[in-house]
Amino acid sequence: MQYLKIKEEILQQIESGLLTSGQKLTSERKLAEAFNTTRVTLREALSLLESEGRVYREDRRGWFISPEPLRYDPTNTTNFHNLALSQQRIPKTELLSASIVPADKHIAQLLQITPQTEVIRIHRIRYLEERPVVLVTNYVLPERLPNLLSHDLSASLTDIYQQHYDTLYQSTHYRIRSSSLVADTAAPLRATSGCAAMYIERVNHDQHGQLLDCDLEYWRHDAVTIEAQATRQK
């Protein structure tokens, strides 16, 4: 099938270094002409590469070669900024909004509170090399961290908790599954609606074992890979 041949040709160009990390591909029209095919067939090839994490699409901007994914170890409590720096990446966090809101049924269940109880919601977008890769929403129990909204919430919450509240993340329960990006999650990530995503849900406890907060993360699926090491218990 022609789209498979096109996919393999583009993949060879990536692996040979002819196409490099972050590089923008020429327009679909020009690519289709170069491969002597239709745009429908070209998109089939690009969609396959996208599903494999080799290229990504930005809404109204076109197709790009995917950088190496960030290695994410759920057993490590290192914050996003330090994790990125340790892998020679350039991180940035942008605060979208921060306010007190009533907890919906799902958040109330995660935080073990009654629905409609007020919680702090912190909505942020995180970047690697100026590319938005993850949309994160933290929900915090206000009584645990008074005046949290007065701090610079574009900074690491891990650091704010430790420096201003003498509070540490000690244990985290993770839930990880495949998902997709829709209007409210796709737009901040410059993604098209329906694009594949990795959803990571975390519930965090402090050094005293007390429930502290939870966060919901929507990652561009090509931007992250989950890695951890397990040791067999005797």
What was the pLDDT predicted at 119?
A: 98
User: Tokens 């397990």 map to which residue?
Assistant: 230
Tell me: the pLDDT tens digits for 141-160? 999 999 999 999 999 999 99
Residue 228: band (very low, low, confident or very high) from pLDDT cuts 50, 70, 90: confident
Taking 80 as the threshold, does the pLDDT of residue 77 lie above it?
no
Q: What is the mean pLDDT of the chain?
A: 94
What was the pLDDT predicted at 221?
A: 95
Which CATH number describes the domain made up of 2-65?
1.10.10.10
Taking 80 as the threshold, does the pLDDT of residue 234 lie above it?
no
> pTM for this structure?
0.92
Supply the angle between the helices 2-16 and 39-51 in degrees, to the nearest 10.
50
What was the pLDDT predicted at 89?
A: 96
Q: Provide mean pLDDT across the span 69-78.
A: 87
What was the pLDDT predicted at 94?
A: 97
Residue 232: band (very low, low, confident or very high) from pLDDT cuts 50, 70, 90: confident
What was the pLDDT predicted at 146?
A: 93
Tell me how far apart the alpha carbons of residues 144 and 99 are, in angstroms, rounded to a whole number. 16
Q: Provide mean pLDDT across the span 94-121.
A: 97
Tell me: the pLDDT tens digits for 168-183? 999 999 999 999 999 8
Taking 90 as the threshold, does the pLDDT of residue 78 lie above it?
no
What was the pLDDT predicted at 1?
A: 82
Tell me: the pLDDT tens digits for 105-115? 999 999 999 99
User: Among 72, 85, 227, 70, which residue's Cα sits nearest to residue 156?
Assistant: 85
Delimit the domains of the chain by residue range: 2-65, 70-226
User: Tokens 């098209």 map to which residue?
Assistant: 192
What was the pLDDT predicted at 230?
A: 78
Tell me the DSSP string of 163-198: HHH---EEEEEEEEEEEE--HHHHGGGT--TT-EEE
The Cβ of residue 55 has, within 10 Å, a number of other Cβ atoms equal to 24
Judge whether 3 and 45 are in contact, CB under 8 Å.
yes
Dihedral-angle region of residue 26 (phi above 0 means left; psi in -120 to 50 means alpha; beta otherwise):
beta
User: Looking at the domain covering 70-226, what would its CATH class be?
Assistant: alpha beta
Tell me how far apart the alpha carbons of residues 92 and 143 are, in angstroms, rounded to a whole number. 29
Q: Do domains 2-65 and 70-226 have the same CATH topology?
A: no
What was the pLDDT predicted at 216?
A: 97
User: Among 183, 45, 68, 205, which residue's Cα sits nearest to residue 133?
Assistant: 68
User: Among 34, 58, 32, 33, which residue's Cα sits nearest to residue 45?
Assistant: 32
Tell me how far apart the alpha carbons of residues 114 and 102 are, in angstroms, rounded to a whole number. 10
Q: Provide mean pLDDT across the span 13-17.
A: 94
Tell me: the pLDDT tens digits for 20-47? 999 999 999 999 999 999 999 999 999 9
Residue 231: band (very low, low, confident or very high) from pLDDT cuts 50, 70, 90: confident
User: Among 167, 177, 132, which residue's Cα sits nearest to residue 146?
Assistant: 167
